[in-house]
Amino acid sequence: MRNLLPGFTNLPRKPGTHKRGFTLIELLVVISIIALLMSILMPTIARAKKQAQSVACQSIVKQWGLVYTMYVDDNNGLFLAGYHHGNHVAQWHKALKHLYQEKMINFCPVAKRNRMEKAAGTAGSATWSNIAGGTFYAWGQDGGDSYSGGSYAENGWATNPPDDKASGPPENFWRTPHVNGAGNIPLFTDSMWLDGWPNDTNGPPQFFDDMNNSMTRYCINRHQGGTNCLFLDWSVRKIGCKELWSLKWHRNFNTQGAWTKAGGVLPSDWPLWMKGLREY
In whole angstroms, give the CA distance from residue 69 to residue 52.
26
Domain housing 155: 24-274
Q: What is the CA radius of gyration of the chain?
A: 28
Residue 49 pLDDT > 80: no
Mean pLDDT of all residues belonging to the chain: 84
**Whole-prediction pTM value?**
0.79
Q: 79-101 pLDDT, tens per residue?
A: 998 876 555 556 898 889 889 88
Q: 59-75 pLDDT, tens per residue?
A: 999 999 999 999 999 99
Residue 180 pLDDT > 70: yes
In this structure, the number of other CB atoms found within 10 A of the CB of residue 13 comes to 9
In a domain, 88, yes or no: yes
In a domain, 135, yes or no: yes
In a domain, 16, yes or no: no
Q: What is the mean pLDDT of residues 241-252?
A: 98
Q: Which amino acid appears at position 149 of this protein? A: G
Predicted local confidence at residue 121, as pLDDT: 40
Q: What is the mean pLDDT of residues 197-211?
A: 94
3-state secondary structure the chain: CCCCCCCCCCCCCCCCCCCCCCCHHHHHHHHHHHHHHHHHHHHHHHHHHHHHHHHHHHHHHHHHHHHHHHHHHHCCCCCCCCCECCEHHHCHHHHCHHHCCCHHHHCCCCCECCCCCCCEEEECCEEEEEECCCCCECEEEECCCCEEEECEEEECCCCCCCHHHCCCCHHHCCCCCCCCCHHHCEEEEECCCCEECCCCCCCCCCCCCCCCCHHHHHCCCCCCCEEEEEECCCCEEEEEHHHHHHCCCCCCCCCCCCCCCCCCCCHHHCCHHHCCCCCC
- β-pair type (236-240, 226-231): antiparallel
Predicted local confidence at residue 112, as pLDDT: 80
In this structure, the number of other CB atoms found within 10 A of the CB of residue 80 comes to 20
In a domain, 238, yes or no: yes
Q: 111-149 pLDDT, tens per residue?
A: 987 654 444 343 333 344 578 889 998 998 765 555 678
Residue 58 pLDDT > 90: yes
In whole angstroms, give the CA distance from residue 195 to residue 176.
17
The strand pairing partners of 195, in sequence order, are: 154
In a domain, 10, yes or no: no
In a domain, 7, yes or no: no
In a domain, 120, yes or no: yes
Between the alpha carbon of residue 221 and those of residues 17, 110, 208, 216, 224, the distances in Å are 64, 11, 8, 11, 6
How many domains is the chain partitioned into structurally? Answer: 1
Region of 230 on the Ramachandran plot (φ > 0 left; ψ -120 to 50 alpha; else beta): beta
Q: What is the mean pLDDT of residues 210-226?
A: 94
